[in-house]
């Protein structure tokens, strides 16, 4: 089975600064998708950014960008200009073409005013 | 409409009760999922329906019974649950197979078994 590892249970960042959340995964498949989801205390899982494994270009969504290293099986999330509303639990997720989503253990991000 | 709607938002049930959780989406997604999430833990996959057929059952106890009556609805029938089944139950949907497989999540049902 695929595994997704987030080695940082908690992170903190000053407002307006940049923070990077780490994620590694293990798979033998060649076609898959990677995601970062955010889960605030309201508990709804919200998609932050997605990356298709076949694309070499790193995905970006406004202040959010990823560093996708396919050979190293690494998928980190960079949040620039951090805002108070970014405080949440962040989950890295892997999805195969069989519709199975696997989540990492999460990183709790605190934004310090 | 990019919403997945779950009802009820909160549910308290006794161990001898029978209840159902409901999930609805109108995005044309043909894959729907049930996840269980304990506090400060990641969601754990329970079931996957693809084109209204059960495609994945992650060895979930039979006291949880999923049902997909049509392409927009997903139910989870609960019977004789245990206190350890108390958790947040999340429903999600996506396009099945290759392509754009982002999963959209509902807000969840907070279940307490007493």
- Pick from B52, B89, B103, B111 the residue to mutate for testing the A interface (most A CBs within 10 Å): B103
Q: What is the rounded average pLDDT of the residues A11-33?
A: 95
Pairs of CB atoms within 8 A across A/B: 61
Strand partners, A52: A33
Among all residues of chain B, which has the CA nearest to that of A1? Answer: B58
- 3-state SS, residue A6: coil
Among all residues of chain A, which has the CA nearest to that of B106? Answer: A44
Is residue B30 less than 8 Å (CB to CB) from chain A? no
Phi, psi (deg, nearest 5) at residue B110? -85, 110
Q: What is the rounded average pLDDT of the residues A69-97?
A: 95
Q: Which of residues 80-99 of B touch A (CB under 8 A)?
A: 88, 90, 92, 94, 96-98
Q: What is the rounded average pLDDT of the residues A43-47?
A: 89
List C-alpha distances in Å: A111 to A8, A12, B103.
15, 6, 26
pLDDT at B53: 94
- Nearest CB neighbour to A91, from listed B42, B88, B102: B42
pLDDT at A1: 62
pLDDT at A113: 96
Q: Is the pLDDT of residue A98 over 80?
A: no
Q: Which H, E and C letters describe B24-78, residue by residue?
A: EECCCCCEEEEEEECCCCCCEEEEEEECCEEEEECCCCCCEEEEEEECCEEEEEE
Cβ contact, residue pair B107, A50, below 8 Å: no
- Nearest CB neighbour to A99, from listed B41, B48, B88: B48
pLDDT at B100: 55
Cβ contact, residue pair A43, B108, below 8 Å: yes
Per-residue pLDDT of chain B (114 residues; tens, 9 = 90+): 668 999 999 999 999 999 999 999 999 999 999 999 999 899 999 999 999 999 989 899 999 999 999 999 999 999 999 999 999 999 999 887 655 568 899 999 999 999
Distance from CA of A15 to the nearest CA of B (A): 24
Q: Which residues contact B86 (CB under 8 A, 6 or more apart)?
A: B111, B112, B113
Distance from CA of A47 to the nearest CA of B (A): 8
Cβ contact, residue pair B45, A43, below 8 Å: no
Distance from CA of B32 to the nearest CA of A (A): 9
Place of tokens 């694309």: A55
């Amino acid at each position: 089975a695929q595994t997704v590892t987030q080695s940082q249970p908690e992170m903190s960042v000053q407002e307006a600064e940049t923070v990077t959340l780490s994620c590694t995964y293990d798979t033998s498949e060649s076609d898959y998708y990677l995601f970062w989801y955010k889960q605030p205390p309201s508990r709804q899982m919200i998609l932050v950014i997605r990356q298709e494994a076949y694309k070499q270009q790193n995905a970006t969504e406004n202040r959010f960008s990823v560093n996708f290293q396919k050979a190293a099986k690494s998928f980190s999330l960079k949040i620039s200009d951090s805002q108070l509303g970014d405080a949440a639990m962040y989950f890295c997720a892997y999805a195969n073409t069989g519709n199975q989503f696997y989540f990492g253990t999460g990183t709790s991000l605190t934004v310090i005013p | 409409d990019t919403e997945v709607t779950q009802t009820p938002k909160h549910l308290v049930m006794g161990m001898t009760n029978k209840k159902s959780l409901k999930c609805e989406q109108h995005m044309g997604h043909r894959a729907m999922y049930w996840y269980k999430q304990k506090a400060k833990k990641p969601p754990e996959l329970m079931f996957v329906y693809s084109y209204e057929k059960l495609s994945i059952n992650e060895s979930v106890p039979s006291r949880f019974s999923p049902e997909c009556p049509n392409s927009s609805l997903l139910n989870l029938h609960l019977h004789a649950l245990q206190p350890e089944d108390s958790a947040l139950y999340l429903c999600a949907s996506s396009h099945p197979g290759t392509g754009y497989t982002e999963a959209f999540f509902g807000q969840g049902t907070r279940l307490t078994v007493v």
